[in-house]
Structure 1
Amino acid sequence: MDWVKPQNLVTRMEHHQIGLYLIAILTGGAIGLLAPGSAGALEHSINPILGLLLYATFLGIPFASIGKAAKDLRFMGTVMALNFVIVPVVVFGLTRFIAGDQALLLGVLLVLLTPCIDYVIVFTGLAGGSSDRLLAAAPVLMLLQMLLLPLYLLLFVGPEVVSAIDPTPFIEALVVLIIIPLGAAALTQALARTHSAGRTMMTIMQALMVPLMMGTLAVVVGSQITGVGKELGSLLAVVPLYAAFLVVMVPLGMLAAKSARLDAPATLAVIFSGATRNSLVVLPLALALPEPLSLAALVVVSQTLVELIGMILYVRYLPVLIRNENPQQPA
């Protein structure tokens, strides 16, 4: 039948991707709850499948446009100001509700103060935003958060907590999740210009975008759902904060983009960058904390679960909102 042909199947998956992502989240949760022994294997598979997802994502971005995107100072300035000036103020206000619990506070600060550098590019592209400009911004976002996170933590929780954090996982995540997939994608694109094998690889990986995103969602949820369930009582305190953050960052991102006179695709990219956090990258940081602060890791994972649902809603509704705000521009 026509719908099972590869090209038609890919088109159908792309058309129904939101529902497929919800199914992936539910499936991952069911596996994690019904087979808790699988959590370790699922956790070890997060970085490999996320790396493949990012490789496929980077393949779809023309590298020739990155230089131009990097020179877009209005966009770069807006993204940096939103993430490193406005977001910390929002996070400080939200965390006053849990300031008395150091583990909860540290977990929320770790994840909300660090802008996403990986799958935000995927979600931005799905929504029709400027994923190439976010790709150009990713190295700067990563460098600045590595430099500024200790300063924010010094201000918000004090020096004794900062000294317990090992920065090594940040560097490892940068290499594994950004540099290696980015380099592999650049080489594949170069190969595709002269060899059919490169073009075939690009076709295959781009057809796998939706399945890879589904796999990423499933393994993240499946690997952590049991731990979240055990500490549900404590973690419920942070869920409203994460939901509030996702809601607040929409008008703040729109305002920042409007002030910079950005177009609709760039506005979408700014909002996604401001709202999407670096949970998969800071999770190793949280897991390396001493025992009294061990709950922080599950606090980070809780943000991932809330954010994944939020991103699905963002992809579905933000383009409509931005299009209504900018009727003269396609979103």
Structure 2
Amino acid sequence: MTRATLERRQVWCYLGAVLGGLIVGTLAPGAGHAFEAMVWPVIGLLLYATFTQVPLTTIAAAFKDTRFLTAALIGNFVILPLLVWALVQFLPQDQAIRTGLLLVLLVPCTDWFITFSQLGKGDTARATAVTPLNLVVQLLLLPLYLWVMTGGQFSAVFAPRDIWPALVVVVAPLIAAGLSELWFRADPGRERARDLLGWGPVPLLALVIGLVAAAHVGAVRDALGLLPVVIIAALAFLAAGLALAKIMSVIFGLPATQGRTLAFSFGTRNSFVVLPFALSLPAGWEIASIVIVMQSLVELLGMVFYLWFVPHALFPARGPRT
């Protein structure tokens, strides 16, 4: 199996991981705390493997195409957050559900976004260039978004003493990946190490999803009634991402390949980066992490539709002039 084949079939890997995790958690209900403890180091490895595929030292390259950059930043960090805030107003008055959706829908993806852009005939070079910038901006703005959209309850829910492990799990791999990037660039022969790490995100994310399902099988069972709410919210967001990509592409006069890249950027979210923050929430907030896993699965299934719709219907290739 090639890495491209693995990435094309990742949706089924994650669905199998959920099913396997639920079965294991049901058969071993007393092992929930052990499974939850295992999630943290696996997430750290996942983030490190993923960040090494995002060349952080190429952030400057993202500034070369100002039209595409402006469209991507305005869409991801101005318009979509406003749409997300409007969307959660229609959800049940459950802070755990709302917090989970806010966490996952407010931050653009930095891993499979590039893969789907490539598979969907987008501009992979621009996707790669803008991804590290998206990562830095979202880490800076997410606390502000949460503080504003939760009515100031952000500091009460995300107490520093509870959230610092999540910060370490995100920041440490980011620093390690930055140092690794310098090491890779020092010798072209070391790129093989980066390529080997590129095999890690799909199986590691599948393992994380399976461990979360196994650790919180009771919460998953209790949250089945919320599944329609999460599905509707996730589908509404996916539809909004398509519409916004088309509008921004027209406004900024972007070619079809860049419009496709915008669509995949707006439609994919950074679930694995915010999952540690959801897992660090106090007892009684387990639903937030379940919501994030649910949303990511709906999103990945939605990407199957995106891969057909975006290049063939939304941004079709223009034929030769006659």
TM-score tier (shorter): 0.7 to 0.9
Structure 1 position 92 matched with structure 2 position 118: no
- Tell me the residue number matched to 1:255: 247
Equivalent residue in structure 1 for 2:318, among 318, 327, 330: 327
Counterpart-to-counterpart distance in 2, 1:181 and 1:188? 10
Counterpart-to-counterpart distance in 2, 1:235 and 1:39? 23
- Tell me the residue number matched to 2:46: 49
Equivalent residue in structure 2 for 1:69, among 57, 62, 74: 62
Q: Deviations over 1:123-149 (max 9, x none)?
A: 323334334433433444334334433
Structure-to-structure mapping, 1:154-233, within 5 angstroms: 154-165=147-158, 166=160, 168=164, 171-172=167-168, 175-192=171-188, 197-198=189-190, 200-201=192-193, 205=196, 209=198, 211-226=199-214, 227=216, 228-233=220-225
Question: Could you tell me which amino acid in structure 1 is paired with residue 236 of structure 2?
Answer: A
- Work out whether residues 120 and 310 of structure 2, in 8 Å CA contact, stay in contact via their aligned partners in 1: yes
Equivalent residue in structure 2 for 1:117, among 106, 110, 115: 110
Q: Say which is worse superposed, 241-250 or 281-290, in terms of deviation.
A: 281-290
- Work out whether residues 127 and 315 of structure 1, in 8 Å CA contact, stay in contact via their aligned partners in 2: yes
Question: Could you tell me which amino acid in structure 2 is paired with residue 129 of structure 1?
Answer: G
Secondary structure of the structure 2 residue equivalent to 1:92 = helix
Structure 1 position 318 matched with structure 2 position 310: yes
The Cα of 1:23 is off from its aligned counterpart by 3.3
Secondary structure of the structure 1 residue equivalent to 2:229 = coil
Q: Specify every segment of 5 or more residues in structure 1 that has no aligned partner in the other structure, as ranges.
A: 1-8
The Cα of 1:323 is off from its aligned counterpart by 4.7
Equivalent residue in structure 1 for 2:15, among 22, 26, 35: 26
The Cα of 1:153 is off from its aligned counterpart by 3.1
Superposition RMSD in Å: 3.2
Q: Say which is worse superposed, 279-288 or 141-150, in terms of deviation.
A: 141-150
Counterpart-to-counterpart distance in 1, 2:50 and 2:73? 25
Question: Could you tell me which amino acid in structure 1 is paired with residue 154 of structure 2?
Answer: V
The Cα of 1:283 is off from its aligned counterpart by 1.5
Counting matched residue pairs gives 305
Structure 1 position 286 matched with structure 2 position 278: yes
- Tell me the residue number matched to 1:3: none
- Work out whether residues 32 and 39 of structure 1, in 8 Å CA contact, stay in contact via their aligned partners in 2: no
Q: Specify every segment of 5 or more residues in structure 2 that has no aligned partner in the other structure, as ranges.
A: 26-30
Q: Say which is worse superposed, 36-45 or 302-311, in terms of deviation.
A: 36-45
Q: Deviations over 1:208-254 (max 9, x none)?
A: 75x53541442233122343344222344222101211122112112
- Tell me the residue number matched to 1:237: 229
- Work out whether residues 123 and 257 of structure 2, in 8 Å CA contact, stay in contact via their aligned partners in 1: yes
Question: Could you tell me which amino acid in structure 1 is paired with residue 265 of structure 2?
Answer: S
- Work out whether residues 166 and 280 of structure 2, in 8 Å CA contact, stay in contact via their aligned partners in 1: no
- Tell me the residue number matched to 2:28: none
Q: Deviations over 1:49-108 (max 9, x none)?
A: 3432443x347x9x7x76443221111111111012211222122212215222211221
Structure-to-structure mapping, 1:261-300, within 5 angstroms: 261-300=253-292
Identity %: 30
| TM-score (normalizing by structure 2) | 0.79
